[in-house]
Structure 1
Amino acid sequence: MLDRLSFPQPWLSLILFVTWQFLSDGISGGSLVLGLILAWGIPQMTQGFWPDPPAFINAWRMPAYLMRVVRDIVAASFEVARLILSPRPVRPAFVCYPLELEHPLAITILASTISLTPGTVSADVSDDNKLLLIHALDAENDQEVIDTIRNRYEKPLLEMFR
């Protein structure tokens, strides 16, 4: 009985509650009650879509990872602009990236990070979750792309999820 009254995804519930309070026209008793009902009800209804709870072991490393990603997005934006404006032809390449990550959420975060960074797009994940197909706008060689992604993104994610 108490299991049905609990919050199956507490972080999602907190985000939903805070978002509802921002969207409502001021904080009142009614918005607090409705926010709590939504924060409890939506995770209850979507519980079947959350088969594995996120397995963050070192979640405290996430802010540093996010700062690195933001810094890389800004730097890559300038690099892509410089590349487009230069007369040198680009060297696009598809790279098969061997994944060390195993958790589906970690693979999704890595693929999203790659796609958010200008100049690279994650195109596909193999059925066995061992390879990630990446398109790089300008790559001197495949190993350079692999080493950069492994050192800048995958190693910190491995530390967070192992």
Structure 2
Amino acid sequence: MIVLVLILTLTWMALQSSFTLPDLIVGFIVSYGLVTLASRFLSTPFTNGGLGRSRIDNRNYVRLTLKWIAFIGFALWSILKANIDMARIVLFRRVDDIKPGIIAIPLDVKSDAGITVLANLITLTPGTVSLDVSTDRRTIYIHCIDVQDADAVRDDIKQNFERRVMELLP
């Protein structure tokens, strides 16, 4: 349902022809209210939110919405930090010191949506690109522009990215 709220929020902003923070907040509140009021008319895949219930529980919906907002904030923060790191590499490191590499990361996330969100988050973060997911969906292969310690990169992705994705899309 959060996707529906976000789509409605963006539609609200486009119809207002204004992309300011107050319009974003108003659009989000209006969209959230509409989706909450209309939730009993929506089909089960929208209302269960991956929680395994056919009926919507507003407390779980609010909790899930807050988790998605926190996840989006984390993703934006990670992208900002990676941009700063990439700028440091480009401006201050010699080409001989940069060690690109491909790393295999075992996956704990099982759902197609979770794997897709994880792969896209890795690709959106400057300096890393998701290359492939193994056919058994247990390993993701990524390319990093600078791999000083492959285990540290693997642990960082598992502890920060994959853990947060699994909270939303196991």
After TM superposition, the score normalised by the length of structure 2 is: 0.64
The number of residues matched between the two structures is: 128
CA distance in 2, matches of 1:86, 1:13: 43
Written as runs of structure 1 = structure 2, the 5 A alignment for 1:79-158 is 79-88=85-94, 89-158=97-166
Q: CA deviation at 1:82?
A: 0.7
Q: What's the RMSD between the two structures over aligned residues?
A: 2.8
Cα deviation per residue 1:133-160 (whole Å; 9 max; x = unaligned)? 1001111122111100011111111122
Q: Write the deviation string for residues 86-119 of structure 1: whole angstroms up to 9, x where unpaired.
A: 2432111100010000000010000000000001
Name which one, 1 or 2, has greater alpha-carbon Rg.
1
| Residue 160 (str. 1) matches residue 168 (str. 2) | yes
5+ residue gaps in structure 1? 1-8, 26-51
Which secondary structure state, in structure 2, belongs to the residue aligned with residue 128 of structure 1?
coil
- In structure 2, what is the Cα distance between the partners aligned to 1:81 and 1:20? 35
Tell me what 1:45 maps to. none
Q: Is the 8 A contact 2:113 2:169 kept in 1?
A: no
Rounded to whole Å, the distance in 2 between the matches of 1:87 and 1:74 is 19
TM-superposed CA distance for 1:56, in Å, is 3.7
Deviation >4 Å, runs of 4+ = 9-14, 52-55
Identical-residue share of aligned pairs (%) = 32
* Match of residue 70, structure 2, among 49, 64, 71: 64
Larger relative contact order (CA 8 Å, sep ≥ 6): 1
Matched, 1:22 2:30: no
Give the unaligned 5+ runs of structure 2. Answer: 18-44, 52-62
How far is 1:19 from its partner?
2.6
Describe the shift of the 1:118–1:21 C-alpha distance in structure 2 as closer, same or farther (beyond 3 A): closer
TM-score in terms of structure 1 length: 0.67
CA, structure 1 residues 136+66, in 2 after alignment: closer, same or farther (shift >3 Å)? Answer: same
